[in-house]
């Protein structure tokens, strides 16, 4: 293998994980054109197409996926060793300010940050649980965690969880009394819990998709909240239908407290991502957090 191929493989790993040339370039500190050129050079050197490219998405081909499976563990070990050497002489410390939804803090962030502060006593973590998409620079946060679809295009985003699905759920008694919606249009006859993420914004419209048909429904009901936990609680008490992520109601569905409706209209989409400003210097503490949170499934 040529010496330059080793560096090119690191670029391939970044593109494959980010699924986007722009985000990969920001992660590597390169221009998008340089990343594109590197990938063309690597594919020409190997003689195999590694990536499928479209106007919006990048995905690995079957040979690319096989290479990624072999490549990732080795480069992860190298990166971990380099980080270990780096922190021996410059132990990460300081305050990390993080904004995330309550669900993201509970299911994704908390198990990781508790280990982080134990391993590095010089690191302190401030958590702010908000439903709205926060302006990191204005509110002086180092990073945030949100669903991919809510992120601005100018941030660097790192996946920290598997693909997500929305779930429309209601209590069994409510559905027995009001009937089961079979199509998103049927929601016009149902009480639905609204969500307003920004106090100055509009109520979130529910999005559905099936067989290539996309439907956006504006709903109405007895409650408008900015916290999915409240929407779920209202649904449990029989006030109507809540529209939240599948992970948030997994226990309720398993226990039968809530039943799912319109499941065939809720396809998977990009899950939780940690995001931070693209032009910002990443501290060693934030880099450690990213490395520990990064989804590698």
Q: pTM for the whole thing?
A: 0.63
Residue 295, phi then psi, degrees to nearest 5: -80, 125
Percent over 70 (pLDDT), the chain: 90
**Which of 19-33, 207-221, 228-242 is predicted least confidently?**
19-33
Strands (E), the chain: 51-53, 58-60, 94-100, 123-129, 143-147, 155-159, 166-170, 194-195, 206-210, 213-217, 224-225, 242-245, 259-261, 272-277
Q: What is the per-residue pLDDT across 53-65, written as a single tens digit (0 to 9) for each?
A: 876 678 899 998 8
Q: Which residues pair with 214 in a beta bridge?
A: 209
Q: What gap in Å lies between CA 178 and CA 186, rounded to an integer? A: 11
Mean pLDDT over each residue of the chain, to the nearest integer = 87
Question: How high is the pLDDT of residue 266?
Answer: 96
Q: Kindly tell me if the per-residue pLDDT of 197 is higher than 90.
A: no
- Between 4 and 74, the more confident residue is 74
Q: Domains in the chain, ordered, with CATH?
A: 3-89 (1.10.10.10), 94-154+271-276 (3.40.190.10), 166-265 (3.40.190.290)
Q: Kindly tell me if the per-residue pLDDT of 84 is higher than 60.
A: no
Confidence label for 81 from pLDDT (cuts 50, 70 and 90): low
Percent over 90 (pLDDT), the chain: 47
């Amino acid at each position: 293998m040529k010496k330059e191929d080793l560096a090119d493989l690191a670029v391939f790993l970044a593109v494959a994980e980010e699924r986007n040339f722009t985000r990969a370039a920001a992660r590597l500190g390169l221009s998008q054109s340089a990343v594109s050129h590197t990938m063309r050079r690597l594919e020409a050197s190997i003689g195999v197409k590694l990536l499928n490219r479209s106007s919006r998405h990048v995905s690995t081909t079957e040979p690319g996926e096989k290479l990624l499976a072999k490549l990732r563990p080795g480069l992860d070990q190298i990166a971990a060793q380099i980080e270990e050497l780096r922190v021996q002489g410059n132990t990460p410390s300081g305050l990390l300010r993080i904004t995330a939804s309550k669900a993201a803090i509970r299911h994704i962030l908390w198990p990781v940050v508790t280990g982080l502060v134990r391993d590095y006593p010089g690191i302190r973590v401030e958590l702010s649980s908000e439903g709205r998409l926060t302006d990191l620079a204005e509110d002086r946060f180092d990073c945030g965690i949100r669903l991919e679809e809510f992120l601005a295009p100018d941030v660097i985003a790192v996946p920290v969880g598997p693909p997500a699905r929305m779930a429309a759920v209601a209590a069994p008694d409510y559905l027995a009394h009001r009937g089961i919606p079979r199509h998103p249009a049927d929601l016009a006859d149902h009480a639905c819990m609204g969500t307003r993420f920004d106090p100055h914004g509009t109520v979130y419209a529910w999005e559905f998709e099936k067989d290539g048909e996309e439907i956006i429904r504006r709903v109405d009901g007895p409650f408008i909240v900015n916290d999915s936990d409240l929407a779920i609680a209202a649904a449990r008490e029989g006030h109507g239908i809540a529209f939240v992520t599948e992970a948030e109601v997994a226990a309720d569905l398993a226990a039968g407290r809530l039943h799912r409706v319109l499941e065939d209209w809720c396809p998977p989409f990009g899950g939780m991502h940690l995001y931070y400003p693209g032009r910002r210097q990443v501290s060693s503490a934030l880099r450690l957090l990213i490395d520990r949170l990064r989804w590698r499934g």
